[in-house]
Each structure stands twice: as structure tokens, then as C-alpha cells.
Amino acid sequence: MPPRTVVIGVDSSTQSTKAAFVDAASGRLLGVGRAPHVVSGEAGARESDPEGWWRALRAAVAAGLKESGVAASAVTGIAVAGQQHGLVVLDRSGRPLRPAMLWNDTRSARQAAALTEEFGGPDAWTGRTGSVPVAAVTASKWRWLRENEPDIAAAAAAVRLPHDFLTERLTGVAVTDPGDASGTGWYSTTTGAYDPVLLELLGLEAALLPEVARTGGTRVGPLTAGAADALGLPATTAVAAGTGDNMSAAVGLGLGGAGLLNHPVLSLGTSGTVFAASRTRPASVALSGFAATDGTYLPLACTLNCTLAVDKVAALLGLDRDEASPGGEAVLLPYLDGERTPDLPTAAGLLTGLRHDTTPRQLLGAAYEGAVVTVLRALDELLRACGLDPADPGVAARPLRLIGGGARGRTWVETVRRLSGRPVIVPGGGEPVALGAAALAAAAATGGDPVTIATGWHTDEDAQLPPVPRDSTTWDRIGSVLERASGPLLGGF
């Protein structure tokens, strides 16, 4: 019997790093190491020290080796999937010049609006990049940096995304992939390359950017001697180009470019996202028209406020996260960090519909409902952009794949079922981002196709939950508040 080979899929998210140790032949999860990140900032700022991500990756790999009992010599590949959009600026030695501006840093909202206007409006941007600039997009953050910290911008010898930074630490190679690159605002999903016209508009030199690999599973090198020593892994370990977290989740679910509109994906994490892989390039000003990591397309809509915002409401009420009941007449829009979909970067939370008999549990339930309706409205936009009518009975009956931390929460799952009226599929693996990164690592080690590898790994039974009647009353009540809300209520609605 040949010796077991193991690959490591790294999920470097906003809040933490996970390193999943996966049997390369069967896809069996052998162990997961975890390490936290520090996020700081106020008044719209959200920043992390990239060196903290590197320390967390090292700690997560060490913890994963211990938990899994895997011999380091068995590891043949590693890949990083990272939070999208963050702006990392480095000096000539590869050290950060400042903390990274994260995707949920909303300070660059004004710059996003200015860029949209300067390039001819939303349609011009979607035609070029697939997406309209918002505060989350890296291009907006680069413009903010040039305007607010010009000395830092001028000193930058390299501009990276979070996953690029970590891949470069592993290999010494400056590389990204089509999926994560498509979230920068300077990569064209039409041409599959950096857009020179947009780079000129942004005052950004192409020489500062990493090379775009063919796919996220492309082998970009072995570990450097220093990285191998820091991680305790063989220097022969293959390193993949990696990708963004949403693109990696699509790989981990075995969803390729043939299309997954029969099973749209809802990811409930710090942010809420809905996405679908497609071979066609949808262009909608309401969506992020990302590329998938295999060079096809991953149209996506993202909300800023999901599990973290609802947990904050639970903490304010002194309740555990599952001590919730339906909100009754109360409506709570938990837009605590502004909002991205709808595009309300300066918004604050909104509570209305209180009665004498409103209970704390109902208020918490209303926070869940506000977050879920926001995500489901984004799903409707995605379906329309892909040529489907959300109200069509056949479309409305298609199952939703539910992933992310919220997929493990009883109240999240039941709120999605009640407000969507759809069947819900909860994948059995539980770590699709890390699993997708592991499939990319296996592809780098073997030359295989990562989606095919991940599909072959699906040995766990998914939980398939039947539909329940759609709660149209709650949906309509929240929708009515959203439609009637004015600027003073939501900080610029």
C-alpha cells in the first residue's frame, strides 16, 4: 500500500486562520488547526497587521499537525484561500508599510463613488471589470491611501491581496489568481488580465502587482527554505496560487463552471454572500461579477452584516445566539458597519415596530430576520442577473446550499428556511473554503483539476432539509421598511 499523502488547505478569513489537513486520496478531514486574527479600527476603519496573518498561519499549521497526528513528511501540497479585497502595501523587503485595510473597511466609500463617476458610471465599470466600485473593493482603498497617506502609497514597492501576501511568504513568488484578482477593481473579467486604462486612472503601476496565474490550482513553486522551517514542513511541498475565500468555497463544494443555479450558495459568516458559478459573464450593477478561480465566472452579492452583527445584538440583549423567537412586529436592520448590498456605507442599524409586549427574544429574532432578508434580496438580484425570475415557482423551489459559520447555527438555518420557503442543503464537510484550498493544493501537487478532485472527495452526507411555508408577512414588513427608509434613518439610504 502506498504511503498516505496529505494536503493542507488554509482559510485565512477576517477573524482567524484555519489549516485543514486532508487525506489527498479520500478527502477525509484529518484535523484542523486554528489561530485568531486581531482586527482593529473604529469609525469605519477595519485593519489587521499582515504579519499577524503569517503568525496565525504558522500557529494553525502547528496545531493541525498536532491534532491530526500527521507526519510532516506526508504533506505534499498547501494552498491559501484568503479574505477578498484587502489592501496590503509592502516595502522592498516584503514587509508591510502599514496595517492592511480589510474588505469591511468603509472609509473609502467617497473614493468608490468618485471612481465610478470618473470612469463613466456603473455600466462602464460592469462592462470592464464586472463590478461597480464600492468601499470594499481594493481599487477604492488604493485611491483612499493615495489621498490620505500619500507618503505610504509613494513608498509602496508591492501591492497585494491578503492571500497573495501569504502565498508570497510561502514561495517567494509574487502571484495571484483570476478569482481573487477579479475583486480588485483593476482586473478585467473581459480580457482576463489587469486593465491598463484602469491602472492609469488609479495611478497604480502594473509592476507593483503580482503575476496572475492561469488558475488557483497552478503550482507556483515549492516552499522556500525559510517557510519550510517556519512551518515544519518538507521543502518539497507544492504551493498552489490559491484564491479568494468565496472562489475556494465554490471549489470545495465541487461547483465548477458548468453552472450551479440549481443550487445557489448562501454563505453566512462575518459577511453574508450569495454566489453561483457560471460559464456566462453576467453584468449587473447590483452584483460583483467575479471570475471563478478556474477562469470562468462567479457572480456574487455580499452583505457586510451577518453573523457578527447578530451576535452583537445578542450580547446587547444578554442572550445566547439561539435564544431567539420570530420578531413579531419589530424590524431590526443590523447594519452596524454600514452596508454593501444595498450600498449604504455610512448606514447604522435601524429598529422600528416596537410594542409594549415586544420581548428581548423577539428583538434578537428580528435581527436574524433583518440579516437574512438582506441576503435573500441579494439572491434575487443575482438570479435576475443570470436571466432567472425569482418569483417563478420552478426557480423559487430550487434548493439553497448553506455554508459558513451560520450554517452550523440552528436559528440561522431555521430563519433561512422560514424566510426563503426553499429546501436547504447543509454540506456535511463543514469547511468548504478550507476544503477548496486543499483541493487546489492537491491540484498543485498532482497536476489534476481541483473541482474534479473536490467532487471525488464528497464522502460526507449532506443534510437536506425540506421547505417550510415562506413567511411572506415578515418578508413584506421588512421590505416595506427598506423601501420607505430615508437618508436620516439609514445614514444616507
Mean pLDDT computed over 130-156: 96
Confidence band for 341, pLDDT divided at 50, 70 and 90 = confident
Mean pLDDT computed over 137-160: 98
Of the candidates 73, 63, 81, which has an alpha carbon nearest to the alpha carbon of residue 5? 73
Please check whether residue 137 is in contact with residue 184, taking contact to mean a CB–CB distance below 8 angstroms: yes
Q: What percent of the chain has pLDDT over 90?
A: 74
In DSSP terms, 221 is beta-bridged to 239
What is the structure's pLDDT at 282?
78
Of the candidates 215, 141, 146, which has an alpha carbon nearest to the alpha carbon of residue 183? 141
Mean pLDDT computed over 196-221: 97
| Domains of the chain, first to last | 6-247 (3.30.420.40), 254-426+461-493 (3.30.420.40)
Distance separating alpha carbons of residues 422 and 438, to the nearest angstrom: 30
- Tell me which amino acid residue 37 is: H
Instruction: Indicate the helix (H) or strand (E) that contains 221.
Output: strand 219-222
Distance separating alpha carbons of residues 351 and 125, to the nearest angstrom: 35
Confidence band for 149, pLDDT divided at 50, 70 and 90 = very high
Average pLDDT, the chain: 92
Tell me: pLDDT of 455 over 80: yes
Tell me: pLDDT of 471 over 90: yes
Residues with a catalytic annotation lie at 245
466: cell is 425540506
What is the structure's pLDDT at 334?
94
Tell me: pLDDT of 226 over 90: yes
What is the structure's pLDDT at 260?
43
Mean pLDDT computed over 212-225: 97
What is the structure's pLDDT at 125?
95
What is the structure's pLDDT at 485?
66
Confidence band for 493, pLDDT divided at 50, 70 and 90 = very low
Burial class (CB in 10 A: 0-12, 13-18, 19+), 359: middle
pLDDT digits (tens, 9 = 90+) for 58-117: 999 999 999 999 999 999 999 999 999 999 999 999 999 999 999 999 999 999 999 999
Mean pLDDT computed over 216-230: 97
pLDDT digits (tens, 9 = 90+) for 367-392: 999 999 999 999 998 888 878 888 88
What is the structure's pLDDT at 276?
83
pLDDT digits (tens, 9 = 90+) for 259-310: 444 578 999 988 898 988 887 787 788 788 899 998 788 888 888 899 999 9
What is the structure's pLDDT at 280?
78
Q: Where do the H-state alpha helices sit in 399-466? A: 410-420, 432-446, 450-457
pLDDT digits (tens, 9 = 90+) for 423-433: 999 877 668 89
What is the structure's pLDDT at 309?
95
Distance separating alpha carbons of residues 278 and 275, to the nearest angstrom: 10
What is the structure's pLDDT at 11?
97
pLDDT higher at 357 or 340? 357
pLDDT higher at 344 or 164? 164
Please check whether residue 6 is in contact with residue 14, taking contact to mean a CB–CB distance below 8 angstroms: no
Burial class (CB in 10 A: 0-12, 13-18, 19+), 208: middle
Confidence band for 460, pLDDT divided at 50, 70 and 90 = low
What is the structure's pLDDT at 258?
47
**Any idea which of 144-148, 155-159, 343-347, 468-472 has the lowest mean pLDDT?**
343-347
DSSP string of 251-267?
Answer: HHTT--TT--TTS-EEE
Tell me: pLDDT of 486 over 70: no
Confidence band for 459, pLDDT divided at 50, 70 and 90 = low
